[in-house]
Amino acid sequence: MKICRLLGTVSIALIAVTISAAQPSTLRTMDIQTLKDKIAGGWAGKMIGVTYGAPVEFRAQGKTFDDPITWTPNDIIGSMWQDDIYVQLTFMMTMDRFGVNAPAKKFQEMFAKAGYMLWHANVQARKNYYDSIFPPMSGHPDFNSHADDIDFQIEADYLGFMAPGMPVTASTMADKIGHIMNYGDGVYGGIFIAALHTQAFFYNDIAVVINNALKTLPPQSDYTKMVSGVILLHQQYPNDWKAAWQELENKWGADHICEAGSTFNIDAKLNGAYIVMGLLYGNGDPQRTLEITARCGQDADCNPSSAMAVLGVMHGFEKLPREMREGVLRMKDSLFINTDYSFSKAVLNTYNYAVAMIKENGGTVSDSSITIIEQKPAAVPFEDAFPNVLLDKKISVFDKGPWKTKGNWQIHNRTDWKTKQPVPQSILSSNKGDAVEFRFSGNGIALNGNWVRDGGKADVYLDGKFVRSIDTYYFYNNQEHENMVLWQVNGLAGGTHIVRLVVKGEQRPESLGKNIYLTQAIIFKTAPKKSAISKFSFER
């Protein structure tokens, strides 16, 4: 495909303008085949890593995974339906169709309308699109309780693959795309991963790659502090990754907003720390890097995928283990679900984008070699999705104390998957004017309920003042979701507050009903975050 057609009619000069403040430090030259090989290594690493860790995903929460891990190159076929890959390929499809500088809303639209399933920050961004909430607000914590989640971290690799030695270029694009579904540390996760790749093109020292990539993040962010902590832990325990892991767990394991109060942790920064831990203790060895990153637990398929992609760029495809290369090549022309991309096409188009970006940023391309003006990493602006926000308590709608209902609210049962017996799941009403009032003391609150095919609309009031209307309809790609955040707020003054939800008795045209389902309230407080006492200390 010709580069003018690939990039569309929109020039990428705007990106070049945004990086003008980054002072060039070095001219880097590589031959064309090496660049293609490194890009291929990056995509292959994603495919290898995500399938290596898939069988143990979230099987270790708050602990390491110590059972055997069985993987063969034939398992790489599973990468065809992994969100680590198909989401960012959708973003590449957006670039193919609308150009590199397409507005963020176009990227949101393309992935919102894609035929695959989504979760956490991504699925909230999809719902936000259909609720007319667009970037950057679609990823903002006011409209996305998953703002710090891992989503953008697992789908930003392509930005680094197409910006060799150009971390500011990658960060500029990542800042736009990342705010579709994330904010703060959630965006920083994607910026960091993309920056790792930009550095891996030219540096073979893992520590140098990590330290350079870390310079793209604001130093006061928790993401920066956590990765810096892993670097220190590696120095303290150079031969004992489990000791380092335990120190990390003691200080940061419970620090997350999504699924707060549970051992399940899909926060970008903790899982990002596992990526760094795997890279440092793996020391460039693919098998050991995969093992350690997966055994750190939590999102144990996404993290090896990110780590292995860094090694793929660093070493190139041809230097990956033979059986891994063969596993990728057996399916090089197979399409990832709901995209028009295969491994082969991803490598070709990423290379073409890389060539265009190199030229736009002052580099040169000949028939055999490429010269790149290397950019010094520069930190993006600081933002914090949930400053000093901590879980206080969760209160079910079946706890009658703080809840007051008006009208004809019914109990909605669901079938327990273990006992096969009906159990109360939520309360519901579709009657206009029916209301629920909840009184609480705290600095924030989330009202949870169901996103469903027969969901309707409601109005939310806080302390007697109308806030906004919400729509609980959701049925995309046969997905519905229980116990999701319907509305939330943080940063309230201390003291007592009253939330009132009023059923509107309205629905969007495609909804099968007007029901509002409520499950629980989650109360948050604001207080300085405290680390667990540990014999090893690093800044929190």
The verdict on residue 382 lying in a domain is no
What is the per-residue pLDDT for 299? 97
* Whether residue 319 is found in the same domain as residue 430: no
Q: Which two tokens stand for residue 448?
A: 């949870």
* Whether residue 98 is found in the same domain as residue 206: yes
SS3 readout for 227-296 = HHHHHHHHHHCCCCHHHHHHHHHHHHCCCCCCCCCCCCCCEHHHHHHHHHHHHHHHCCCHHHHHHHHHHC
pLDDT tens per residue, range 61-103: 999 999 999 999 999 999 999 999 999 999 999 999 999 999 9
Range of the domain at 175: 3-375
The verdict on residue 244 lying in a domain is yes
pLDDT tens per residue, range 140-162: 999 999 999 999 999 999 999 99
How would residue 536 be classed by pLDDT, with cut points 50, 70 and 90? very low
Which amino acid belongs to residue 13? A
* Whether residue 346 is found in the same domain as residue 490: no
* Whether residue 305 is found in the same domain as residue 176: yes
* Whether residue 30 is found in the same domain as residue 80: yes
Of 375, 408, 423, the one marking the end of a domain is 375
* Whether residue 456 is found in the same domain as residue 334: no
Q: Rounded to whole angstroms, what are the CA distances from 255 to 181, 263, 268, 532?
A: 20, 10, 11, 11
What is the per-residue pLDDT for 17? 36
Which residue stretches of 54-100 are H helix?
A: 83-98
| CATH number assigned to the domain comprising residue 435 | 2.60.120.260
* Whether residue 266 is found in the same domain as residue 355: yes
pLDDT tens per residue, range 345-368: 999 999 999 999 999 999 999 999
What is the per-residue pLDDT for 25? 60
The verdict on residue 462 lying in a domain is yes
Residues 428 and 374: their CA atoms lie apart, in Å, by 58
Residue among 469, 439, 437 nearest 455 (CA): 469
Of 375, 406, 427, the one marking the end of a domain is 375
């990526």: which residue's tokens? 275
How would residue 8 be classed by pLDDT, with cut points 50, 70 and 90? very low
Of 337, 353, 375, the one marking the end of a domain is 375
The verdict on residue 533 lying in a domain is no
* Whether residue 112 is found in the same domain as residue 218: yes
* Whether residue 282 is found in the same domain as residue 182: yes
Which residue stretches of 283-342 are H helix?
A: 286-295, 302-315, 322-329
The verdict on residue 383 lying in a domain is no
Mean pLDDT of 174-197: 98
Contact 164, 282 (CB under 8 A): no
Q: Which two tokens stand for residue 533?
A: 């006492």
Q: Rounded to whole angstroms, what are the CA distances from 151 to 59, 299, 349?
A: 19, 11, 23
Q: Which two tokens stand for residue 238?
A: 């150079």
Residues 46 and 348: their CA atoms lie apart, in Å, by 16
* Whether residue 364 is found in the same domain as residue 469: no
How would residue 458 be classed by pLDDT, with cut points 50, 70 and 90? very high
How would residue 2 be classed by pLDDT, with cut points 50, 70 and 90? very low
The verdict on residue 504 lying in a domain is yes
The verdict on residue 380 lying in a domain is no
* Whether residue 215 is found in the same domain as residue 72: yes
pLDDT tens per residue, range 237-283: 999 999 999 999 999 998 899 998 999 999 999 999 999 999 999 99
What is the per-residue pLDDT for 418? 85
Structural domain tally of the chain?
A: 2
pLDDT tens per residue, range 159-171: 999 999 999 999 9
What is the per-residue pLDDT for 524? 97
How would residue 401 be classed by pLDDT, with cut points 50, 70 and 90? confident
Q: Calculate the average pLDDT of the chain.
A: 93
What is the per-residue pLDDT for 529? 66
* Whether residue 150 is found in the same domain as residue 86: yes
Classify the phi-psi angles of 524: left when phi > 0, otherwise alpha if psi is within -120 to 50, otherwise beta.
beta
Residue among 361, 353, 362 nearest 4 (CA): 353
| CATH number assigned to the domain comprising residue 369 | 1.10.4080.10
Mean pLDDT of 196-210: 98
Residue among 217, 177, 154 nearest 384 (CA): 217
Residue among 268, 340, 260 nearest 122 (CA): 268
Beta bridge partners of 487: 447
The verdict on residue 131 lying in a domain is yes
